[in-house]
Structure 1
Amino acid sequence: MDETRMNLVEHLGEMRKRIIIILIFFMTFLCLSFLFVKDIHQFLVRDLDDKLALLGPGDILWIYMMIAGVVAIAATIPIAAFQAWHFVKPALKKEEQKATLAFIPGIFFLFLLGISFGYFILFPIVLSFLENLAGDQFEAFFTVDKYFNFMINLTLPFGFLFEMPAVILFLTKLGIINPHLLVKGRKGSYFVLIVISVIISPPDLVSDVLVIVPLLLLYEFSITLSKLVFRKRTEWQIVNDKERVPL
């Protein structure tokens, strides 16, 4: 009992250490991002014909903090993944350590790809659709908080949702899941992804479809990757088992 308790305390201490490191890097990136937040803001509103309106003196500070926060999250993703790898490293074999470490660049790339998809593809389409829906009956008047809240709510979730292939590959590599389980749970996974899509997308059919289709394709792509990793992992285990058989 005492040994188990000591192991638990050690694991919690190690987790606390990793979380503190992640928070330190996040705060550092947040401060650095805030130094360039005006340039980032100008880039994000470059296509707007009119300036965004402020309804209160504190709005711009809140928006600048929100923009800097998103940039800091993106920059912290590989650090967080590396710290998570360090935390589980003692429980992995040497081959698994090398294989899982290789996922970290992919995690960062997929996060950026998801945000890019949301901002450069989905956001302009949805914004244009909603503006055309208003037509000449309404005067378009964007406030800075409404505009950026809409943008971030539509783009940031995709940064995390696009991590699906990397997460599934990682779990397959560790033997926690396999492609047969993913195929068997396809209907349930589809339902969950559709619910998530409806929640994060604006309340119109076009936006729902634009969000649902990429997520379902990502899931199918993840299954394909899982099959490849699972096949290689099985072959590797067979070779190792043969080498262990005494002659």
Structure 2
Amino acid sequence: MTDTDHRTDASDVDPRDDIAPGNEEPRLIHHLLELRSRVLRAVAGLVLVLLLLLPFANDLYAWLAEPLLSKLPAGGQLIAIEVASPFFAPIKLAFFAALMITMPWLLYQAWAFVAPGLYQREKRLALPLLASAVSLFYIGCAFAFYLVLPSVFGFLTKMAPEGVAMMTDISAYLSFVLVIFLAFGASFELPVALVIATLLGWVTPQQLRESRGYAVVGIFIVAAVITPPDVVSQLMLAIPMCLLYEVGILAAGWLSPRGADTPSQD
């Protein structure tokens, strides 16, 4: 027997193998205490950022409303149908902004909790995937705000019938914009989803390439469902998603195990 037979790769060692029989209960208590600590830190960070943003809540809403206000005729404005809308809508926006800002911190706390139980190979893959997911979500939201919303509101204001003044409720506008943000942010996660599916063995890069035509049709259907009823916004979501699908194929081919594309031969 050679020395190589006794050699163990650190990446193949299960970090949970050192749990001795009878120590499960103390280990469980330790994990619960660690979970509570991580949750408290995550909530504390979120609350801190929220408190810092609350004094600027109205300014945040004015910034968010700019894509619509810039497309309205001179003198156009948003309205508040409900009595408490001028108070709650900016606070809701401040909370969403705080959630977006602290997303890396929240994910770090989740990562710090689960990382000790992962293999080294899993850690090396998880960190880039998490960073890519957060970055793509931010990019999707920025793409929606700076490119999609101005084109959508420009189309909708032009389609208003003669004599009809477009005066949107501030709560309805906020809900509409947040849905667009979430839709585009989630859609831009497509490459990460493809890589994860490949690493789990659900698909191979070759299968993704062969299914490209079906994927394009599905992308256009999804874009038609989650975007406003105008061709411009649908294309502005579908075209980036098609490009991101290709990026996902390349990333999946680079990260997939060698030989994953090769069909087995009997």
TM-score between the two structures when normalised by the length of structure 1 = 0.74
1:175-224 CA-to-partner distances (Å, cap 9, x unmatched) read 77642454466577656645543342123444333323322332222121
Partner in structure 2 of residue 200 of structure 1: 226
Q: For the residues of structure 1 that align with 2:110 and 2:163, how far apart are their CA atoms?
A: 52
Give the letter aligned to residue 54 of structure 2.
F
1:99-152 CA-to-partner distances (Å, cap 9, x unmatched) read 432444433322221111111111111111111111534222222122222222
Which of these residues, 65, 68, 76, is aligned with residue 45 of structure 1?
Answer: 65
Residue 155 of structure 2 aligns to a residue whose secondary structure is: helix
Contact preservation (8 Å) 2:60, 2:90: no
Partner in structure 1 of residue 6 of structure 2: none
Q: How many residues align?
A: 232
Partner in structure 1 of residue 134 of structure 2: 108
- Structure 2 CA distance for partners of 1:8 and 1:167, relative to 1, 3 Å: farther
Return 5+ residue gaps in structure 1 as ranges.
236-247
Deviates more, 1:16-25 or 1:55-64: 16-25
Is 1:216 matched with 2:242?
Answer: yes
Partner in structure 2 of residue 243 of structure 1: none
- Structure 2 CA distance for partners of 1:181 and 1:68, relative to 1, 3 Å: farther
After TM superposition, the structure 1 = structure 2 runs for residues 141-152 of structure 1, keeping only pairs within 5 Å, are 141-152=167-178
- Structure 2 CA distance for partners of 1:172 and 1:73, relative to 1, 3 Å: farther
TM-score between the two structures when normalised by the length of structure 2 = 0.69
Is 1:36 matched with 2:62?
Answer: no
After TM superposition, the structure 1 = structure 2 runs for residues 3-42 of structure 1, keeping only pairs within 5 Å, are 13=32, 18-42=38-62
Q: For the residues of structure 2 that align with 1:58 and 1:190, how far apart are their CA atoms?
A: 44
Contact preservation (8 Å) 1:78, 1:107: no
Deviates more, 1:31-40 or 1:184-193: 184-193
Residue 168 of structure 2 aligns to a residue whose secondary structure is: coil
Is 1:164 matched with 2:184?
Answer: no
Partner in structure 1 of residue 17 of structure 2: none
More helix by share: 1
Deviation at 1:59, TM superposition (A): 0.5
Give the letter aligned to residue 25 of structure 1.
G
- Please report the RMSD computed on the Cα atoms of aligned residues, expressed in angstroms: 3.6
Residue 146 of structure 2 aligns to a residue whose secondary structure is: helix
Which of these residues, 254, 259, 264, is aligned with residue 228 of structure 1?
Answer: 254
Which of these residues, 98, 106, 111, is aligned with residue 80 of structure 1?
Answer: 106
Bigger radius of gyration among the two: 2
Contact preservation (8 Å) 1:96, 1:173: no
Is 1:140 matched with 2:160?
Answer: no
Q: For the residues of structure 2 that align with 1:77 and 1:151, how far apart are their CA atoms?
A: 19
- Structure 2 CA distance for partners of 1:65 and 1:183, relative to 1, 3 Å: farther
- Structure 2 CA distance for partners of 1:136 and 1:12, relative to 1, 3 Å: farther
Q: For the residues of structure 2 that align with 1:187 and 1:12, how far apart are their CA atoms?
A: 46
Which of these residues, 124, 127, 144, is aligned with residue 118 of structure 1?
Answer: 144
